[in-house]
């Protein structure tokens, strides 16, 4: 398997489809990276030379694309900031409810967790 910044990407796929395995790189970013690196997007990852892998890594660093740990840290810091200032979104994050205005009377099970029936006490 080819490694870019310590992340293994699959060899049997096209490089354009393999790059999104890196957290923070989506399909459109992958196309842009390959264009700037001058690498054919249809080539398989296993057929890339070491020189081409280095070029791809250089483009990611020169474009200041946040990937993996740095991006995760930044997202976590943004969420912590929202919670610290007690804004609406921060409170919703804290309580574990949907943040972007979705309904909660039905659905929202992914955010709310397993259904807990609240019974009437006798």
Q: Over the stretch 6-28, which tens digit does the pLDDT of each residue have?
A: 888 898 999 999 999 999 999 99
Alpha carbons 47 and 34: distance in angstroms, whole number: 15
The CATH number of domain 69-112, selected from 3.30.70.260, 2.130.10.10, 1.10.287.3510, 4.10.910.10: 4.10.910.10
At 5, is the pLDDT very low, low, confident or very high (cuts 50, 70, 90)? confident
Stretch among 2-6, 31-35, 82-86 having the lowest mean pLDDT: 2-6
HSE, CB side, 13 Å, CA atoms: give it for residue 106. Answer: 0
**pTM for the model:** 0.75
């Amino acid at each position: 398997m080819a490694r870019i910044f310590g992340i293994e990407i699959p060899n049997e796929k096209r490089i354009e489809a393999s790059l999104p395995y890196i957290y923070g790189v989506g399909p459109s970013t992958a196309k842009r990276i390959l264009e700037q690196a001058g690498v054919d997007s249809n080539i398989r990852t296993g057929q890339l030379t070491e020189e081409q892998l280095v070029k791809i890594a250089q483009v990611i660093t020169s474009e200041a694309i946040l990937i993996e740990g740095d991006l995760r840290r930044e997202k976590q810091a943004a969420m912590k900031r929202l919670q610290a200032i007690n804004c609406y979104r921060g409170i919703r994050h804290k309580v574990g409810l949907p943040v972007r205005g979705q309904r909660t009377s039905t659905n929202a099970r992914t955010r709310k967790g397993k259904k807990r029936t609240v019974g009437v006490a006798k």
